[in-house]
Structure 1
């Protein structure tokens, strides 16, 4: 049975020279919960969708399409083996550390019922310098990208309470083939895949839809 192993939040942002805005909320720690999750608002105007969670750079993180970030314990265990170091819940900046459900092959637009909330998969996490510096791993952005185990972002379709031990149930799977992994490869290493993201409709963040259209316009002009 897929479950939430840990609910993690950053209770305050921390100063960070390597972060674009001079602070970061990546250092998320397990809490007892449950906590309310709700739509925070448009990107750039709001932070996390998890009550009590802090995000420093609202232009890069947070907002409705990145309201909640999930990562599988199975993928953390894989990285533990690769890196030779212990990785605790929240170590990748995830709000939900899960067990028994695959984020990488989830379809963009899937609906997950967790606790009393309904979440929708909206895409992958893209690695950044802050993530690399927090982990203390040289070449981390390239390594994380090559592994293509990005975890999944969610928007909140129905607000509610989510906590450790809550069962995760996939209640809807869309009819396209746009997985979190395909999305990740499209926006990192394989731009030719970008047009395929449009099959996921309004589950794709608006800024990514804009990117697809810009690239298509450039190709038409060339």
Structure 2
């Protein structure tokens, strides 16, 4: 659930481009003090080195302090904001429990939850734990990739207000774990504009279910 004190705890942009598993990566993000401008393509001063990780439907990556605390316990060390490559770290916001298409008002910036983060080996390399990206994915605590519906500025301390929640009930964690046919049908019939990979996944789940039905 999202409490009345949901807020941003850090805003992060790329600190350095570093060698990755296949090619250089901009996963090394660190907190930026003050207000950071946010455009449709993402945060000013940030960078995306892989088309698969960028684009309008992944312009801003949001991750929760609560989920970072879970992995801090697992790994036995602190996990500072930006370590997972996130742009925005929050507290009091159920990021992975957010519905696909949910909208968050953060100061004057309006974000729409579009899809879960799909981790790659660069995450394991950056954290320094072999196959950590697989553990991260299996947990469902993957964070949310968001589209910028209204540009503005982001800064630590700003309140996060859940402006609207779609009725289909399919969350970021559900989509990350794998949709059931009922969830896929609900998502496709919701009228929510879906990111192409999300729509494609739901369509494949439904097609497979119909093919396998007696």
| Per-residue deviation, residues 72-122 of structure 1 (Å, max 9, x unmatched) | 111111111111121101111110010111111111111111021111111
Q: 1:207 offset after TM fit, Å?
A: 2.6
| Per-residue deviation, residues 20-70 of structure 1 (Å, max 9, x unmatched) | 3x1101110000131111212xxxxxxxx1111011112x11111101001
Deviates more, 1:157-166 or 1:195-204: 195-204
- Give RMSD over aligned pairs: 2.1
The residue that corresponds to 1:37 in the other structure is 38
Distance 1:9 1:112, change over 3 A: same
Q: 1:151 offset after TM fit, Å?
A: 0.9
Structure (1 or 2) with the greater strand fraction: 2
Aligned residues: 208
Where does structure 1 lack aligned partners over 5 or more consecutive residues?
A: 41-48
Q: 1:132 offset after TM fit, Å?
A: 1.1
One of 184, 206, 210 as aligned partner of 2:200:
210
Q: 1:214 offset after TM fit, Å?
A: 4.5
Q: How far apart, CA to CA, are the structure 1 residues paired with 2:190 and 2:60?
A: 19
The residue that corresponds to 1:45 in the other structure is none
Deviates more, 1:71-80 or 1:141-150: 141-150
| Secondary structure of the structure 1 residue equivalent to 2:178 | helix
The residue that corresponds to 1:126 in the other structure is 118
| Secondary structure of the structure 2 residue equivalent to 1:26 | strand
Compute the TM-score of the two structures, normalised by the length of structure 1.
0.85
Q: How far apart, CA to CA, are the structure 1 residues paired with 2:191 and 2:78?
A: 38
The residue that corresponds to 1:5 in the other structure is 9
Distance 1:100 1:216, change over 3 A: closer
One of 49, 53, 78 as aligned partner of 1:56:
49
Compute the TM-score of the two structures, normalised by the length of structure 2.
0.88
Where does structure 2 lack aligned partners over 5 or more consecutive residues?
A: none
Distance 1:127 1:149, change over 3 A: same
One of 136, 158, 174 as aligned partner of 2:128:
136
One of 83, 98, 101 as aligned partner of 1:106:
98
Alignment of 1:56-205 (within 5 A): 56-58=49-51, 60-186=52-178, 194-205=184-195
| Secondary structure of the structure 1 residue equivalent to 2:122 | helix
Q: 1:15 offset after TM fit, Å?
A: 2.8
Distance 1:134 1:52, change over 3 A: same
Report if aligned partners of 2:181, 2:209 keep a CA contact under 8 Å in 1.
Answer: no
Report if aligned partners of 2:138, 2:177 keep a CA contact under 8 Å in 1.
Answer: no
